[in-house]
């Protein structure tokens, strides 16, 4: 939830750290801070609010050190304030630490440290980290090269919870020690510089060569070396990975906001996600999976588990897998799944969808499924992310870095990939004819062009946004696959425009929610399934009768006269229609947020990567 960066090299660290923090602000933005090593002393500057407040602090431009750590915070323990901002130091100001994650047993550790004479100045869980490192450092009677590392390791082995930590010390002006457990941290490497970050895009402009860390791997960095150790401090080998994304894709490219840019990147994201997996008259390629007919036909159930938008993509996966493969699919929210003792065994396949690959609940649900002997398959946008390292199998969306907190291109890419997966399963199982699947593949291959076509609704949507941006409640309706889009559209609207909105299965309205419909309320409906359109139109008629004004997103010829506003989108196969029908509604959320003068990319209270429970 928080963002951390680090630098060790030959240049002044502070400007590099501030630039990295600005790129990571989507992960948290209630306070920020930096610590560098200045002539064998630790500097410490921090403030409440955005990174720009930190950049304006008196004296920050005087920092000369070439090694430093920095943090942008999304508060979990203790309100946003200067005292609670990171970096935190031990009482003797020997160690500076930034931390992303939660130390669940911090109260216990704090009491232990209080009993040992330590004082605490913040309400954070993090402040126990530098003090516990100091405690172990001073208790260690050996004075060898590993003393600093041993202190960090001994402290970390006492932590319960999740952490990505960077530590610097005035006693070791050429070193930085980093470690992670269930929280993201990557190390970018060049000849005489090392860049650290919670995610890859923040440091892509410096390098494409990265070390990806597993849980409890400790790293000792100098500007030219990176030494890796396991939790017993045995040295281990690690290779760098080359990341294909380019730095440009993490910049705004002339768009006002990342969200708008990412909406417009959807033709490319879908093209890249399809890649070479789909072509007419040849079977889908998933070399990394290799599932047999025997394995798939013996499955008793598939679970798709995810959070938020990724879960909505999972709902469209259920539709495709059940219809094409006739395997029962249950979709669950990760935070519920992990605590409801789900019925799983070796005949269950559990699929986890996560753009970031770092969502704490999704990772925990995956670990649970493995314990219960299910095979696990991760769908992620981030190569080497935690979820992909835990899962038995991993496949990737190729949406490129998604920076805006509200997910757009990751969602449509997830819908794409899970549909391709369903086709692959159907081909292995031989549950559909080749000609039927060929029709679907043809529609998939035409999608990027159709997305470009759909994006032309931009101006009409902008106008509609001007008409409704002051509303207090908005409703979304749909049936079948359109109901899954209604859910996603409603989430998008509420998260960036702060308008209360809800989505309903259109047929469910009359069982209660219709009581909320009153004169002039906005009801938005998606109509793409020819078999269900008449039924949904009847439900819309019911709200019109009660005074609602209506926006319709449809790919079918319908009588427009009864609706206030109709957005026509290109026709396509029902399975993949969410990839087109969500686009006008992503734009609607975007333009309403703009009309209200809100920060589209960094909505209040939200963070891009939810690495806490």
Catalytic residues: 2, 608
Q: Which is nearer to ligand F6R, 388 or 572 (CB)?
A: 388
The footprint of ligand F6R on residues 376-435 (CB under 6 A) is 406-407
Smallest distance from ligand F6R to CB 611, Å: 9
φ, ψ for residue 376 (rounded to 5)? Answer: -120, 140
Token output for 169: 């010390």
**409-429 helix and 434-454 helix, angle to the nearest 10 degrees:** 170
Rounded CA-CA distance 524/476 in Å is 5
Q: Which is nearer to ligand F6R, 100 or 356 (CB)?
A: 356
Q: Binding to ligand F6R by residue 309, rule CB under 6 A?
A: yes
Q: What sign results for the dihedral spanned by CA atoms 45, 46, 51, 57?
A: negative
Smallest distance from ligand F6R to CB 569, Å: 21
Q: Binding to ligand F6R by residue 359, rule CB under 6 A?
A: yes
- Of 53, 48, 51, whose CA–CA distance to 25 is shortest? 51
Question: For the residues of 473-489, what is the DSSP string, one character each?
Answer: EEEEEESTHHHHHHHHH
Binding mask 481-520 for ligand F6R (x = CB under 6 A): ----------x---x-------------------------
- Of 554, 555, 267, 284, whose CA–CA distance to 419 is shortest? 284
Output the residue with the shortest Cβ distance to ligand F6R: 308
Q: Binding to ligand F6R by residue 362, rule CB under 6 A?
A: yes
Q: Which is nearer to ligand F6R, 359 or 573 (CB)?
A: 359
Q: Binding to ligand F6R by residue 588, rule CB under 6 A?
A: no
Among 219, 610, 611, 612, binds ligand F6R (CB under 6 A): 610
First CA to last CA across the chain, in angstroms?
A: 10
Smallest distance from ligand F6R to CB 356, Å: 3
Smallest distance from ligand F6R to CB 439, Å: 30
Q: Binding to ligand F6R by residue 356, rule CB under 6 A?
A: yes
Question: C-alpha distances in angstroms, 490 versus 157, 331, 455, 465, 479?
Answer: 43, 19, 19, 14, 15
Task: With beta carbons less than 8 A apart as the criterion, state whether 20 and 195 touch.
Answer: yes
Question: For the residues of 169-227, what is the DSSP string, one character each?
Answer: ETT-TT-EEEEEESS--EEEEETTEEEEESSSGGGTTT-SEEEEPPTT-EEEE-SS-EE
Q: Which is nearer to ligand F6R, 128 or 350 (CB)?
A: 350
Smallest distance from ligand F6R to CB 403, Å: 11
Q: Which is nearer to ligand F6R, 327 or 353 (CB)?
A: 353
Contacts with 374 (C-beta within 8 Å, 6 or more apart), sequence order: 303, 344, 345, 346, 348, 349, 350
Cis previous bond, 414, omega within 30 = no
Q: Binding to ligand F6R by residue 585, rule CB under 6 A?
A: no
Single out the segment in contact with ligand F6R by CB under 6 A; choices: 4-12, 120-128, 302-310, 563-571: 302-310
* The CA-based dihedral angle spanning residues 528, 269, 308, 418, taken in that order and rounded to the nearest 10 degrees: 70
Q: Binding to ligand F6R by residue 354, rule CB under 6 A?
A: yes
Single out the segment in contact with ligand F6R by CB under 6 A; choices: 144-152, 303-311, 437-445, 545-553: 303-311
Token output for 114: 């209080």
- Of 536, 526, 541, 444, whose CA–CA distance to 489 is shortest? 526
Q: Which is nearer to ligand F6R, 273 or 609 (CB)?
A: 609
Helices (H) then strands (E): counts for the chain: 18, 26
Q: Binding to ligand F6R by residue 35, rule CB under 6 A?
A: no
Among 177, 302, 307, 589, binds ligand F6R (CB under 6 A): 307
Q: Binding to ligand F6R by residue 310, rule CB under 6 A?
A: yes
Single out the segment in contact with ligand F6R by CB under 6 A; choices: 279-287, 348-356, 567-575, 590-598: 348-356
Among 20, 130, 308, 314, binds ligand F6R (CB under 6 A): 308
Q: Which is nearer to ligand F6R, 249 or 355 (CB)?
A: 355
Total binding residues for ligand F6R by CB under 6 A? Answer: 15
Q: Which is nearer to ligand F6R, 184 or 342 (CB)?
A: 184
Q: What angle do CA 441, 446, 451 make, to 5 degrees?
A: 130
Residues making contact with ligand F6R (CB under 6 A) = 307-310, 354-356, 359, 362, 406-407, 491, 495, 609-610
């Amino acid at each position: 939830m928080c963002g951390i960066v680090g630098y060790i090299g030959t240049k002044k660290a502070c400007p590099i750290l501030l630039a990295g923090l600005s790129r990571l602000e989507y992960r948290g933005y209630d306070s920020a801070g930096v610590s560098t090593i200045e002539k064998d002393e630790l500097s410490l500057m921090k403030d409440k609010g955005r990174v720009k407040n930190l950049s304006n602090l008196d004296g920050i431009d005087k920092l000369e050190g070439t090694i430093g750590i920095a943090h942008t915070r999304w508060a979990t323990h203790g309100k946003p304030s200067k005292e609670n901002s990171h970096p935190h130091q031990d009482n003797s100001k020997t160690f500076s630490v930034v931390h992303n994650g939660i130390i669940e047993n911090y109260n216990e550790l704090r009491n232990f440290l209080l009993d040992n004479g330590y004082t605490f100045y913040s309400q954070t869980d993090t402040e126990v980290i530098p003090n516990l490192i100091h405690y172990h450092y001073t208790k260690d009677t050996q004075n060898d090269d590993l003393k600093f590392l041993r202190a960090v390791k001994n402290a970390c082995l006492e932590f319960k919870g999740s952490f990505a930590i960077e530590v610097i010390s005035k006693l070791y002006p050429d070193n930085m020690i980093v470690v992670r457990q269930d929280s993201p941290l990557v190390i970018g490497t060049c000849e005489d510089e090392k860049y650290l970050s919670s995610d890859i895009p923040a440091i892509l402009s410096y390098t494409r060569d990265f070390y990806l860390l597993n849980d409890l791997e400790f790293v000792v960095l100098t500007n030219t070396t990176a030494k890796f150790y396991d939790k017993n401090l045995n040295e281990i080998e690690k290779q760098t990975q080359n990341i294909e994304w380019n730095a440009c894709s993490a910049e705004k490219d002339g768009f006002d906001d990342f969200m708008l840019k990412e909406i417009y990147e959807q033709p490319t994201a879908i093209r890249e996600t399809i890649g070479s997996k789909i072509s007419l008259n040849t079977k889908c390629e998933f070399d990394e999976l290799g599932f047999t007919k025997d394995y798939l036909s013996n499955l008793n159930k598939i679970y798709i588990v995810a959070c938020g938008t990724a879960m909505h993509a999972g709902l469209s996966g259920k539709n495709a897998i059940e219809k094409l493969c006739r395997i029962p699919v249950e979709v669950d929210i990760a935070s519920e799944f992990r605590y409801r003792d789900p019925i799983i065994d070796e005949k269950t396949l559990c699929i986890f969808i996560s753009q970031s690959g770092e969502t704490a609940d999704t990772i925990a649900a995956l670990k649970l499924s493995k314990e219960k002997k299910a095979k696990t398959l991760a769908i992620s946008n981030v190569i080497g992310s935690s979820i992909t390292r835990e899962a038995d199998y991993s496949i990737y969306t190729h949406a490129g870095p998604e920076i805006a907190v509200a997910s757009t291109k990751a969602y449509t890419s997830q819908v794409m990939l899970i549909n391709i997966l369903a086709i692959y399963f159907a081909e292995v199982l031989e549950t559909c004819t080749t000609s039927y699947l060929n029709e679907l593949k043809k529609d998939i291959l035409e999608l990027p062009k159709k997305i470009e076509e759909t994006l032309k609704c931009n101006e009409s949507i902008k106008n509609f946004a001007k008409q409704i941006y002051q509303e207090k409640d908005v409703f979304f309706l749909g049936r079948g696959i359109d109901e899954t889009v209604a859910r996603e559209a409603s989430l998008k609207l509420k998260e960036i425009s702060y308008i209360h909105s809800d989505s309903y299965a259109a047929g469910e309205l009359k069982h209660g929610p219709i009581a909320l419909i009153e004169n002039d309320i906005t009801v938005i409906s998606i109509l793409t399934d020819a078999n269900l359109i008449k039924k949904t139109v009847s439900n819309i008629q019911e709200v019109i009768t009660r005074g609602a004004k209506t926006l319709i997103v449809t790919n079918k010829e319908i009588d427009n006269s009864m609706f206030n506003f109709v957005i026509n989108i290109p026709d396509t196969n029902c399975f993949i229609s969410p990839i087109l029908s969500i686009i006008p509604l992503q734009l609607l959320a975007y333009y309403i947020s703009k009309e209200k003068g809100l920060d589209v990319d960094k909505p209040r209270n939200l963070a891009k990567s939810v690495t806490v429970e």
